[in-house]
Amino acid sequence: MSILELDQKGRLTLPKDIRESLDIGKKVLIINAGDHLKVIPLPSDPFKTLHGAFNTKKPFKELRKQAEKTAQNEAKKERS
């Protein structure tokens, strides 16, 4: 755990040991979680990270229909 100070422009610097332990490169996603912030490291090349994740031979209409069905089922579970 580290306590950090903001500079005059409102910036903060993450300590090197934290950056290295989390493999943080040049970009992070900051999420306002109400009473705290979440810092999520972003990959330097997001397309390289996603390569192969969407390989499918199904047509888009079929994928959309499947996604809608999944969403409906999730909504039903939440109501129960």
Number of structural domains (the chain) is 1
For residue 14, the model assigns a pLDDT of 92
Q: Tens digit of pLDDT for each residue in 16-61?
A: 999 899 888 888 889 999 999 998 888 777 666 666 667 777 888 8
**Residue 26 — left, alpha, or beta (φ > 0 → left; ψ -120 to 50 → alpha)?**
alpha
Residue predicted with more confidence, 7 or 80: 7
For residue 27, the model assigns a pLDDT of 87
Residue 27 lies inside a defined structural domain of this protein: yes
Residue 71 lies inside a defined structural domain of this protein: yes
The domain in which residue 69 lies consists of 16-45+55-79
Residue 33 lies inside a defined structural domain of this protein: yes
For residue 52, the model assigns a pLDDT of 67
Residue predicted with more confidence, 64 or 8: 8
Tokens of 49: 């990270």
For residue 10, the model assigns a pLDDT of 95
Res. 8 pLDDT band, cuts 50 70 90: very high
Q: Model pTM? A: 0.50
